[in-house]
Amino acid sequence: MKLEELRFGTELLKRGFASMQKGGVIMDVVNAEQAKIAETAGAVAVMSLERVPSDIRKQGGVARMADPEKVREIIDAVSIPVMGKVRIGHFVEAQVLEVLGVDMIDESEVLTPADEEYHIDKKQFKIPFVCGARNLGEALRRINEGAAMIRTKGEAGTGNVVEAVRHMRAIMGEIRKVQGMDEQERISYARSIEAPAELVIECARRGRLPVVNFSAGGIATPSDAAMMMQLGADGVFVGSGIFKSSNPEKMAKAIVEAVNHFNDAKVIAQVSTGLGDAMPGLDVHTLRADEVLQTRGR
Amino acid sequence: MDVKIGVLALQGDVSEHIDAFAAALAACGCEKGSSVVEIRSPGDLDGCAALALPGGESTTISRLIDKNGLYEPIRTFKGGIFATCAGMVLMATHVADPRVHSLGLMDMTVDRNAFGRQKESFEADIPVTGIDGGPFHAIFIRAPVVTAAGTGVRVLAKLDQGVVATERGRYMALAFHPELGGDFRLHERFLKNLGI
């Protein structure tokens, strides 16, 4: 039968796609081999990028979208969704990833920003976007620009969960705060955090962000992942934490299990046993201001 | 009537399924004393009249079903099963992908991601057999299709690419996501099939 009026790229389809990722682990991969390891371990999706964040930190230079050849190779290797990172504001990198068939775009502070004033107008795209946020104001500004999913920024490539915790607590705490406000206070609060009032009111009514909210930026162990879930994340992104650990296959499976059983310390203890070394960590307090990624794009 | 419905809560759009079944139970006039609960381990299935297999990643959910010892308990579950998207893949006897260990409860062959990638995901009003009130607004997200429906499997909706809604006795499997659209006629039909 012929269908009239098929609609593509709607807000419902974008947010619906994000909902299907809930309770899952999305893993950073730089090639097909890593993508297959992630899929076998039970990742719900993979994030294709040129270099994992800890390597971007070490090597410096401008970090960009991955080579299209690598992205295609990853798409061909797995059946789960493939996401891709683009620079903040770089709408042409986003157009390229959309054409390549990437399922979701991460407009990411981990890459070098292409525009220090504006984020991408995400409503112009058929595929959904995920964006980083440190607090409720940032999250709602990104949603207002069309983001279908939010993740905490954390501090990528450090293997240190402290910033992801700070950002998740900030977002959840601010939502609890607006729930206790009356309408006038919510409007005034929206102004103070530079967010649209209707989105602040929606958060207060639902007791959560209007889109799926993952955690990212520094998750390196099964316990880190489970803690972010207990703090209210809908799922987690793991960047350098898997492929910079001493046994990526085992670490990937363990983090998937920990997210699945985030409230069960017995399971977390069991899956954390004999994992080898987690990625080497960095104390975020030793970072110079220009090494901090989370302040990019506010 | 006190009805308990379980939603497999390993991965995917679990809370949307819980909300949708709560709304459908209310529409059937049996919300009082009824509950919709999360299923994470075999014991959670006790007393459930039905189980929902949500949308999500079929490879991930399949792996977690095995890992959590739920494979046989779901296969031998005596209640109804309402499956959407990834859930439909799991219900099939044949999946053209070795990465999924399907439950094999409905005699059908399913092709994963049959419409393509996310940019090919779509919404459309489609005719569905067995419900009143006109076409159903269906939301297809990286959806599967049934390429062959076998013995006893009734086709409720079909597009050019293949069959997108099937039913067999107490089972219903849908390639799209009625839990996202606010139209619960298929949930209500499913409950009615169970005598609820």
* Residue in B17, B48, B167, B177 annotated catalytic: B177
- Asked whether B181 and B13 are in contact (CB, 8 A), the reply is no
- Backbone region of residue A45 per phi and psi (left: phi > 0; alpha: psi in -120 to 50; beta: other values): beta
Record: contact B126-A44, CB cut-off 8 A = no
Q: In this predicted structure, what is the pLDDT of residue B2?
A: 87
Which listed CATH number (3.40.50.720, 3.40.800.10, 3.40.50.150, 3.40.50.880) goes with B4-193? Answer: 3.40.50.880
Residue A85's DSSP bridge partners are: A106
Using the Cα atoms of residue B72, residue B73, residue B76 and residue B82 in order, give the sign of their dihedral.
negative
Distance CA A258, CA A47 (A): 20
pLDDT digits (tens, 9 = 90+) for A235-287: 999 999 999 999 999 999 999 999 999 999 999 999 999 999 898 888 888 99
One-letter amino acid at A277 equals D
Cα B49 to its chain centre, rounded Å, is 15
Record: contact A81-B57, CB cut-off 8 A = yes
Residue the block writes with tokens 């970090």: A63
Record: contact B60-A44, CB cut-off 8 A = yes
Q: In this predicted structure, what is the pLDDT of residue A224?
A: 98
Q: In this predicted structure, what is the pLDDT of residue A290?
A: 87
- Asked whether A296 and A119 are in contact (CB, 8 A), the reply is no
Residue A98 half-sphere exposure, CB side, CA atoms within 13 Å? 17
**Sequence-ordered list of residues with C-beta below 8 angstroms from that of B43, at least 6 positions apart, any chain:** none
Q: In this predicted structure, what is the pLDDT of residue B1?
A: 72
Q: How far apart are the first and last CA of chain A?
A: 48
pLDDT digits (tens, 9 = 90+) for B141-192: 999 999 999 999 999 999 999 999 999 999 999 999 999 999 999 999 999 9
- Asked whether B12 and B56 are in contact (CB, 8 A), the reply is yes
pLDDT of A293 higher than 70? yes
How wide is the angle at C-alpha A123 spanned by C-alphas A79 and A168, nearest 5°? 70
Residue A129: which of A14, A297, A10, A7 has the closest Cα? A14
- Asked whether A262 and A229 are in contact (CB, 8 A), the reply is yes
Min Cα distance B50 → chain A (Å) is 21
Tokens at residue B161, please?
A: 């690419």
pLDDT of A1 higher than 60? no
Chain B partners within 8 Å of A24 (Cβ): 11-12, 56-57, 60
* Residue in B17, B85, B167, B187 annotated catalytic: B85
Record: contact B141-A20, CB cut-off 8 A = yes
If you count residue pairs, one on A and one on B, with CB atoms under 8 Å apart, how many are there?
A: 126
Record: contact B124-A19, CB cut-off 8 A = no
SS3 B66: helix
**Which of B9, B64, B119 faces A126 most closely, judged by CB atoms?**
B119
Give me the mean pLDDT over the A205-229 stretch. 97
SS3 A84: strand
pTM of this prediction?
0.96
Distance CA A229, CA A262 (A): 6
- Backbone angles phi and psi of A279, in degrees to 5: -60, 150
Question: Is residue A45 within 8 angstroms of chain B, CB to CB?
Answer: yes
Q: In this predicted structure, what is the pLDDT of residue B30?
A: 83
Min Cα distance B116 → chain A (Å) is 9
Cα B72 to its chain centre, rounded Å, is 18
pLDDT of A121 higher than 90? yes
Distance CA A64, CA A97 (A): 12
How wide is the angle at C-alpha A93 spanned by C-alphas A92 and A99, nearest 5°? 90
For chain A, what percent of residues have pLDDT higher than 90?
A: 90
Q: In this predicted structure, what is the pLDDT of residue A35?
A: 98
Question: Is residue A12 within 8 angstroms of chain B, CB to CB?
Answer: yes
pLDDT digits (tens, 9 = 90+) for B5-36: 999 999 999 999 999 999 999 998 888 889 99
Residue B64 half-sphere exposure, CB side, CA atoms within 13 Å? 30
Question: Is residue A124 within 8 angstroms of chain B, CB to CB?
Answer: no
Distance CA B94, CA B105 (A): 10
Chain A partners within 8 Å of B56 (Cβ): 20-24, 44
Give me the mean pLDDT over the A55-65 stretch. 92
**Which of A1, A5, A21 faces B160 most closely, judged by CB atoms?**
A1
One-letter amino acid at B126 equals I
Selected residue with higher pLDDT from A235 and A54: A235
Record: contact A81-B139, CB cut-off 8 A = no
Q: In this predicted structure, what is the pLDDT of residue B190?
A: 97
One-letter amino acid at B3 equals V
Instruction: State the average pLDDT for chain A.
Output: 96
Q: In this predicted structure, what is the pLDDT of residue B7?
A: 98
Domain ranges for chain B, please list them.
4-193
Residue A63: which of A73, A79, A54, A50 has the closest Cα? A50
Give A233's DSSP letter.
-
β strands within chain B, DSSP E: 4-8, 35-39, 50-53, 80-84, 92-95, 106-111, 122-126, 136-140, 145-149, 154-159, 162-168, 171-174
Residue A83: which of A42, A128, A31, A132 has the closest Cα? A128
pLDDT of A208 higher than 70? yes
Chain B partners within 8 Å of A21 (Cβ): 56-57
Q: In this predicted structure, what is the pLDDT of residue A5?
A: 78
Record: contact A19-B13, CB cut-off 8 A = yes
pLDDT digits (tens, 9 = 90+) for B76-131: 999 999 999 999 999 999 998 889 999 999 999 999 999 999 999 999 999 999 99
pLDDT of A3 higher than 70? no
> Sorting pLDDT into bands at 50, 70 and 90, what band is A2?
low
Distance CA B79, CA B169 (A): 11
Interface test mutation site (partner A, options B19, B70, B115, B121, max chain A beta carbons within 10 A): B121
Question: Is residue A168 within 8 angstroms of chain B, CB to CB?
Answer: no
Q: Which residues of B touch A (CB under 8 A)?
A: 9-16, 40, 55-57, 59-60, 63-64, 67-68, 85-86, 97, 99, 112-113, 116-127, 139, 141-142, 158-160, 177, 180-181
Q: In this predicted structure, what is the pLDDT of residue A257?
A: 96
pLDDT of A190 higher than 70? yes
Residue the block writes with tokens 């402290």: A162
Interface test mutation site (partner B, options A15, A48, A79, max chain B beta carbons within 10 A): A79
Give me the mean pLDDT over the B34-59 stretch. 97
Record: contact A20-B125, CB cut-off 8 A = no
